[in-house]
Amino acid sequence: MRYFSALILSLPLIAFAGAGEAGFDMLRRDFTPASVAIASANVGFPQLTAFGGNPAALAEKTVQIAGAGYVDDPLDLKTGFLYYSRPWKEYVFSARLLYSDYGTFDRTSVSGEKLGTFGANDIFVGFSGARKFDSLLIGIEPGYIISKIDNYSASALTFSAGIQYAPPFIPLTRVGVDIRNLGTNTKKYVSSTTPLPTDIRIGGSKKLEHLPLTLVAQINKWQDTDWYFNGGGEFEITKAFLLRAGYSTLGTDQRSNGTNDAIAGLSAGFGFQYTDYMFDFAYAMQGVVGDRLFLQFSWQPPSQR
């Protein structure tokens, strides 16, 4: 366990050694509304954002969970996802499937003559496993992605790993680190390799003792970007109704002197639970990139009631 934790902490040195412009853009995007609403500052958040967040957080999901979600992106980009997790002995395992359709594009000749249309889409499937050791949680997620443009395609194997730690000497606090999207191409578009968008995230969460508010903060670095900051919080109105909000300084890269530039990088949403069912909603404001809307519905099988 000690050596595995040390390996995760050293992975950024390996990942960024060959830094360059990355592809497979789907792997940059957060799809989970509960996570998006807190500006994706999920690396140190317990339980909530295990699907697409720090794989270590999965270790505390001790009942079966299944769900589906939808993302409404700008420019007719549509994304849907499915996920399922269940505990087994000391472990928790999960699987998730993501699909993005980039729409239909005109095919033209060099002279501009229209020659029909073509499409583009991405598919990702990932399998996670996690385990809790007292105050330390460890998780991994191997995966596979395939990206298609017209008759061309590229694919890659991916690997993500993370840890979370709840310091016993600091109540209601969680710190975490993960590295996402290590891997290698299994197929190239033509002859050149498409680098994966490797990401290192370091951060934590703190639940206030006298207020039903959990604050989150983290710093991120993609393989081809500078470091940036994400932060936010989740406020528990009742056990069944949660409000969330966040801000990412990455929003400054999404401004173009437009009318919505001042709020680029902001996000907000809520979660509502009824018996065994949970509905999550988030709205992310991204300036010139365009705003995004996230929906998710999840449930537990009747045997878990």
Local mean pLDDT, 10-residue blocks, the chain (305 residues): 45 44 83 93 77 86 89 82 92 94 81 82 94 94 93 92 94 94 89 86 94 95 90 93 93 55 85 91 81 89 51
Strands (DSSP E) found in the chain: 65-72, 78-88, 91-108, 114-133, 136-149, 152-165, 173-187, 199-207, 213-222, 228-238, 241-248, 266-274, 277-284, 292-299
Task: Give the separation between CA 181 and CA 163, rounded to whole angstroms.
Answer: 15
What is the pLDDT, as a whole number, of residue 257?
A: 52
- Work out whether the CA dihedral 169, 221, 41, 67 comes out positive or negative: negative
Residue 239: CA count within 13 A, CB half-sphere: 3
What is the pLDDT, as a whole number, of residue 66?
A: 92
What is the pLDDT, as a whole number, of residue 114?
A: 84
The CA radius of gyration of the chain, in Å to the nearest whole number, is 20
Four-point Cα dihedral 21, 145, 125, 4, nearest 10 = -50
Element (H, E) at 227: none
Q: Quote the tokens at residue 206.
A: 């703190």
Task: Provide CB contacts within 8 A for 92, sequence distance 6+.
Answer: 58, 59, 60, 61, 62, 85, 86, 129, 130, 131
What is the pLDDT, as a whole number, of residue 127?
A: 95
- pTM of the predicted model as reported, rounded to 2 decimal places: 0.84
**Cβ 44 vs Cβ 216: under 8 Å:** yes
The correct CATH number of 2-304 out of 3.40.640.10, 2.40.160.60, 3.30.470.30, 2.40.50.100 is 2.40.160.60
What is the pLDDT, as a whole number, of residue 235?
A: 95
